[in-house]
């Protein structure tokens, strides 16, 4: 796995990685992480797919991980607008697809899955299939509907709080919100302690407003025209994203299949093995149909 810098159209430097196969490859996977994530959190699935014969690549989104920050406080996860990230993805995909073997598959988590759909909904892409884990079709906040969340974020921004965090404390994995696996929680903590420049924290009010605006821009009629195989995976009680909105998405996509995992937890690719291994097996079966294993 080789890390590099990929420069976006506006000059923003994004930390990227490429991991080609030493010989023939089944195809190419582009992995896209979620809000506040960084590449190292997902080394387990990346290693797995590489061992299965796929070339693997990815990058940290602008404003997080190794791709620089938008605020002086690096622990506030901030965005003004999601459109630049959609542009980043489209530019990266064009270059990646032109230099890697087909078929080309995106595997994306949460915010990364949302941005993937934004890009695919444009109608011009070179992606052969997509796997969306806990896609951020809408944000779940207990007792607060989506429209009210956008209104609150707009009001906070008008009050001069756009760059302030929405909460004083990052609840993170409290109560197993992200993952029920203590070893993987410890792994994330180790990386953040060892490489503090990769760490992010609570979202700003501006991030919330930008997220809700981007959600509104993802129109159902555009998604309905997406004619590639899509595997959608979600927890039945995901505490971060709206599970009902995800189910509606799966019904809207012409070639989608939906896997609903019992229980909660948002980071399905980092869950305890009792939950994670069946998810990885389902992904493997999906990938086998897209890029069959190479014969010896």
The percentage of residues in the chain with a pLDDT greater than 90, rounded to a whole number, is 84
With CA atoms as reference, report the closest residue to 137 among 45, 230, 234: 234
Please give the distance of CA 85 from its chain centroid, rounded to a whole number.
Answer: 12
The predicted pLDDT at position 173 comes to 65
Q: Which two tokens stand for residue 150?
A: 């956008």
What integer pLDDT is reported at residue 196 of this predicted model?
95
pLDDT score recorded for residue 175: 66
Residue found by looking up tokens 């070639």 in the block = 255
Give the residue among 296, 269, 291 at the shortest CA–CA distance from 54. 291
Residue 219 has pLDDT above 90, yes or no: no
Does residue 145 register a pLDDT over 80?
no
Query: Which of 271, 55, 36 has the alpha carbon at shortest distance from 166?
Result: 36
Q: How far apart are CA 67 and CA 81, in angstroms?
A: 16
Of all residues in the chain, what percent carry a pLDDT higher than 70?
A: 98
173 vs 233, higher pLDDT: 233
If you count them, how many residues does the chain have? 296
Query: What are the structural domains of the chain?
Result: 18-290 (3.40.50.1820)
- pLDDT tops 90 at residue 30: yes
Integer Cα distance of 69 and 38 in angstroms? 13
Number of C-beta neighbours around residue 205 at 10 A? 24
Helix pair angle (43-51, 273-290), 10° resolution:
40
Question: In the predicted model, is pLDDT for residue 146 greater than 80?
Answer: no
Cα separation, 250 vs 135, whole angstroms: 11
Q: Are strands 13-19 and 230-235 parallel, antiparallel or unpaired?
A: unpaired
Q: Worst-scoring range by mean pLDDT, 43-52, 164-173, 205-214?
A: 164-173
Question: What distance lies between CA 222 and its chain's CA centroid?
Answer: 20
In this predicted structure, what is the pLDDT of residue 169? 78
- DSSP for 6-41, written as a single string: EE-TTS-EEEEEEE--SS--SEEEEEE--TT--GGG
User: Is 238 within 8 Å of 140 (Cβ atoms)?
Assistant: yes
Q: What is the pLDDT of residue 171?
A: 67
Work out the number of other CB atoms within 10 angstroms of the CB of residue 231: 24
Q: What local confidence, expressed as pLDDT, does residue 296 receive?
A: 60
pLDDT (tens digit, 9 = 90+) per residue, 70-111? Answer: 999 999 999 999 999 999 999 999 999 999 999 999 999 999
H or E stretch covering 144: none
What are the angstrom distances between the C-alpha of 41 and each of 34, 184, 198, 270? 11, 9, 10, 8
DSSP 8-state symbol, 64:
S
Q: Are 73 and 46 in contact (CB under 8 A)?
A: no
The closest of 21, 8, 5 to 291, measured between CA atoms, is 21
CB 29 within 8 A of CB 107: yes
| C-alpha distances in Å from residue 101, one per residue of 26, 40, 47, 56, 180 | 8, 24, 18, 11, 36
């Amino acid at each position: 796995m080789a890390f590099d810098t990929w420069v976006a159209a506006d000059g923003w430097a994004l930390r990227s990685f490429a991991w080609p196969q030493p010989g023939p490859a089944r195809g190419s996977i582009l992995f896209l992480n979620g809000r506040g994530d960084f590449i190292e959190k997902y080394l387990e699935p990346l290693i797995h797919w590489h061992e299965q014969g796929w070339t693997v690549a990815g990058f940290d989104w602008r404003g997080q991980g190794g791709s620089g920050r938008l605020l002086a406080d690096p622990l506030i996860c901030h965005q003004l607008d999601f459109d630049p990230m959609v542009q980043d993805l489209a530019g990266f995909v064009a270059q990646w697809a032109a230099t890697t073997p087909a078929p080309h598959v995106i595997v994306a988590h949460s915010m990364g899955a949302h941005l993937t759909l934004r890009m695919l909904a444009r109608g011009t892409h070179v992606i052969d299939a997509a796997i969306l884990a806990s896609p951020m079709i809408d944000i779940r906040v207990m007792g607060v509907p989506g429209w009210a969340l956008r209104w609150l974020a707009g009001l906070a921004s008008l009050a001069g709080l756009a760059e302030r965090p929405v909460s004083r404390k990052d609840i993170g994995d409290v109560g197993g919100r992200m993952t029920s696996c203590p070893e993987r929680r410890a792994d994330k903590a180790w990386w953040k302690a060892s490489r503090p420049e990769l760490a992010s924290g609570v979202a700003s009010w501006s991030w919330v407003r930008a997220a809700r605006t981007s959600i509104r821009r993802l129109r159902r009629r555009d998604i309905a025209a997406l004619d590639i195989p899509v595997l959608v995976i979600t927890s039945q009680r995901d505490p971060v994203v709206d599970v009902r909105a995800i189910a509606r998405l799966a019904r809207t996509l012409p070639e989608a299949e939906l896997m609903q995992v019992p229980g909660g937890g948002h980071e399905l690719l980092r869950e305890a093995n009792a939950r994670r291994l069946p998810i990885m097996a389902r992904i493997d079966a999906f990938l086998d149909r897209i890029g069959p294993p190479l014969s010896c």
